[in-house]
Structure 1
Amino acid sequence: MPKLAKPLTDTQIRNAKPKEKTYTLADGGGMYLEISSKGSKIWRMSYRQPNGKTTRLTFGRYPETSLQDAREKCMAARKLRAAGTDPAQAKRIEKRNQAFANANTFETVAREWHATKLSSWQLRTANNILHRLEKDVFPLVGKQPISTIGAPLVLDVLRQIERRGAVDMAKRQAQVISQVFRYAIVTGRAESDPVPSLRTALQPSADGHHAAITPDDLPQFLLALERNEIRMYPTTRIMMRLMMLTFVRTSELIETPWAEIDLERELWVIPWQRMKMGKKKVKPRKVDHHVFMPSQGWRLLRELSTYTGGGLFLFPNQRDHQKPASNGAILSALKRMGYGGKHTGHGFRSLAMGVIKERLGYRHEVVDRQLAHSSGDAYGEAYDRAQFLDERRVMMQKYADFLDNVANSNVK
């Protein structure tokens, strides 16, 4: 009958000293402590395979792996053997699965998905999406295997964005995260997308559009702009007034080079490549946009030329005049005026739509062309180049005159 090993004690293990050759201390059940000639102490277990060969498992180094921890690992291996499973093979499978999971973290999959979309995105769009992932998502779940991320963890990520007041940003990040999960599903690295189940858990937006004042708010807004109690720079005030008069998209105004402006002929046409629909990688809308500037706008541009006319852009960046001003310049000025959360740069477009349709009585499709919205039909492109041009020119002057009348308190 084989001699049973007497279980080891912590005292024995601590007092075990290295010898000239490696030796072992048995603990029973096939487990032993191996002490090398250099003093390292490693937990191991040996067992015989059906073919007669001996297999050795390693449970860790002492004292990082305690006696109790080693015994638990040994017991788990013995249970596998009793169930007919080779512990060494099970360990190799677990290690391979863990390596697969580590190679398919959320960040790894997200960056791979991002790379596949580059050909269909504008550079700015691609950079913005990656920047938001790096700021809001990767620090929280980037290192997690994507297959282990469920709805509660994604909800926590989105709620942290909501807590700083960025409700719309949280919704946009949810859309991006969902796309990453869908990519992981089709590439075999996730089984489901947890985002759709979170729709009712996210905070609702105040409304479905960018914040905008109404025509009834105009008198107070124009008065605040005129008084300039926040002491905006002259160029910033001109920027605000031009946004109101032209209601182009913020980036379309901010990034306008002086080369596009013909002060002598009073002509401003934005090339289709700078327009939102023209920047699409797939089927871009190749229609230049006529910005029918009213006389008030041309006076503002002539004033602006005395400040920035010698440079590249209408509104240059203060630090680098070879770049346009930040898109946040208008939003920052609005916040300082007390309109944070109430009005945005994009809100000037909603405001103009309301005034021109409700107060001036113009048809929706005419205002829509001035907003550079796509018509959605084959005839719309021709209309943009021909039928509505004269009507839009008159409309824009009437709109500017209306704003002047409101500022002068002639219209309530």
Structure 2
Amino acid sequence: MKLSDLKCKSAKPRNKQYKLFDGGGLYLRVRANGSKLWQMKYRYLNKEKTLSIGQYPLISLAQARQARDDAKRLLMQNPPIDPMAHKAENKRQAIRKVENTFKAVALEWHALNKDRWSDNYAYKIQKGLELNVFPHIGSRPIAEITPPELLNDCLKKIEKRGSLDIAGRTRQICGQVFRYGIQTGKCEWNPAENLRGALKTRKTKHFRTLNIKEVPDFLKALERNEARLFERTRRAVWLSLYTFCRPVEIRKARWEDFDFDEALWTIPAEIMKMRREHIVPLSRQALAVLEEQKKEVEILNTPWVFPSQVRPREPMSDGTVNKAIKRLGFGKDMVAHGFRALARTTIREKLHYDSEAIECQLAHKAAGPLGEAYNRTQFLDVRKIMMQDWSDYLDALA
């Protein structure tokens, strides 16, 4: 006789546990302590097995019957599926989903890559995720996130703030997290790839830089110093011109990284954008700037080539050179980072050096399959001559 809700509810415990059968292998096991458990007997590959369905009354009679019917349907498939193994796999998948949230996978990806990034870049990536992504999809299983969810719940909210560049970069970063998720088996697809063209874009703005025809006026202004810049600030501008290094590399230059005998500056990996050591050949003009700077700061007992005017144990602030350019009257046309573009274009067009040597001196990643095969001394002999030619060219313009 089939069970009823009343019979299940009124079943009393006995000295020994017993079973109340409902048919099709389903029964209610009543234990001596009064607890009641739905179970199902079945045969899989000629072996008798028992499937636990759940506690009564948390699992009702109707729900238990539904679970029994679902199990029978699995057994009827060709080939048959073991209901116990199916239940265990579903549990494993559920646990994986809870553990493999977007936030968990993103933090794992970040930890894997941060050693090859600069500290500043690693911080920006993590801060961007914490501010713009984790509050919206961080707790979601990464395998369940869809393109519309990523777009509407996350990226569009950034776009509505007017932060178009940040929205675009966030999509790219999310795409890298999803790719890592695919590689590690935590998800099967990359929803960010399906969002190309789904966000507004702003016309690309390159760092402002001078036209080569304007450089003589800039050099004269720097030489006359009617803006009354500090001498160490002027030298930082000169070194930026002669080496066309990134502003952070100039302001965090340390005396220990310079070899005056070999005329080489070895910038440590932790300062570089691509997290790899970089060699800068120094022209006679660059060495002269450094020698003058050393005379000024050697009594300060500071590791920095260009220490702060107020706190000499710290490097100059990141806006010092840009402020100097403004005070010289060229702020609308030039920023410190623009020295790189100026040198790149001029050395190629006026001095006729190959792009490979220029890009290597700029510490740019080479295009193509050899891009990762980085050699710290690549084109070094050519670059030594090129950097001297560049400084001589600037002096000739002045």
Give the TM-score range, shorter chain: 0.5 to 0.7
**Alignment partner, residue 385 of structure 1:** 384
The correspondence for 1:271, drawn from 261, 265, 270, is: 265
- Do the aligned partners of 1:211 and 1:341 also contact (CA within 8 Å) in 2? no
Question: Percent identity of the aligned residues?
Answer: 22
Partner of 1:255: 252
Match of 1:97?
Answer: 93
SS at match of 2:38: strand
- The 2-side partners of 1:382 and 1:122 are apart by 28
CA pair 299-286 structure 1, distance change in 2 beyond 3 A: closer
Give the secondary structure class of the aligned counterpart of 2:140: coil
* Partner secondary structure for residue 200 of structure 1: coil
CA contact (8 A) 1:278 1:286 kept: no
Shift of 1:241: 4.3
CA contact (8 A) 1:272 1:289 kept: no
Q: Please say which of residues 93-102 and 361-370 is displaced more in the overlay.
A: 361-370
Whether 1:324 and 2:319 are equivalent positions in the alignment is no
Instruction: Give the counterpart letter for 1:80 in structure 2.
Output: D
**Greater CA drift, 138-147 or 158-167:** 158-167
- TM-score, with structure 1 as normaliser: 0.59
Match of 1:404 in 2: none
**TM-score (ref. length: structure 2):** 0.61
- Looking at structure 1, the residues matched to 236 and 164 of structure 2 have their Cα atoms a distance apart, in angstroms, of 25
* Equivalent position to 1:311, from 296, 302, 307: 302
CA contact (8 A) 1:251 1:327 kept: yes
Q: What amino acid sits opposite 2:266 in the alignment?
A: W
Q: Map 1:7-406 onto structure 2 (within 5 A).
A: 44-49=37-42, 55-58=51-54, 70=60, 73-74=63-64, 76-85=66-75, 89-114=85-110, 117=113, 121-122=116-117, 124=119, 127-128=122-123, 131-132=126-127, 134-135=129-130, 136-155=132-151, 156-162=153-159, 167-207=164-204, 210-215=206-211, 238=234, 241-242=237-238, 245-246=241-242, 247-258=244-255, 269=263, 271-274=265-268, 286=279, 288-290=281-283, 292-293=285-286, 301=293, 305=296, 309-316=300-307, 322-325=313-316, 327=318, 344-351=335-342, 362-363=350-351, 365=353, 369=358, 372-373=361-362, 380-386=379-385, 388-399=386-397, 401=398
Structure 2: tracts of 5 or more residues without a match: 76-81, 371-376
CA RMSD of aligned residues (A): 6.0
SS in 2 for 1:365: coil
Instruction: Check the 8 A contact 1:31/1:74 in 2, yes or no.
Output: no
Q: CA contact under 8 A between 1:44 and 1:58: conserved in structure 2?
A: yes
Please, which runs of 5 or more residues in structure 1 have no aligned partner? 402-412
Structure 1 residues 299 and 331: alpha-carbon distance in aligned structure 2, compared to 1, 3 A threshold: same
- The 1:285/1:240 distance shift into structure 2, 3 A limit, reads closer
Quickly say closer, same or farther: Cα 1:268–1:132, change in 2 above 3 A.
Answer: farther
* CA contact 2:118–2:270 (8 Å) conserved in 1: no
**Aligned equivalents of 2:70 and 2:327: distance in 1?**
68
Find the aligned partners of 2:257 and 2:210 in 1 and give their Cα distance.
31
Given that residues 45 and 58 in structure 1 are in contact (C-alpha distance below 8 angstroms), is that contact kept between their aligned partners in structure 2? Answer: yes
Q: Distance in 2 between matches of 1:244 and 1:389?
A: 12
- Contact kept, 8 Å, 1:158 with 1:173, in 2: the verdict is yes
Q: Secondary structure at the match of 1:271?
A: strand
Amino acid aligned to 2:395: Q
Contact (CA 8 Å) 1:57, 1:88: kept in 2 or not? no
Work out the CA distance in 2 between the residues paired with 1:318 and 1:22.
87
CA distance in 1, matches of 2:384, 2:68: 81
Structure 1 270/132 Cα, relative in aligned 2: closer, same or farther at 3 Å? farther
Residues 268 and 293, structure 1, Cα contact 8 Å, conserved in 2 = no
For residues 70-111 of structure 1, the C-alpha deviation after alignment (integer angstroms, 9 at most, x for no partner) is 466435314314525576554323112212333433344444
CA displacement at 1:268 relative to structure 2: 11
Aligned to 2:78: none
**CA distance 1:154–1:323, shift in 2 (3 Å):** farther
Residue type of the alignment partner of 2:97: A
Partner letter of residue 148 of structure 1? E
Deviation at 1:205, TM superposition (A): 4.3
Number of aligned residues: 363
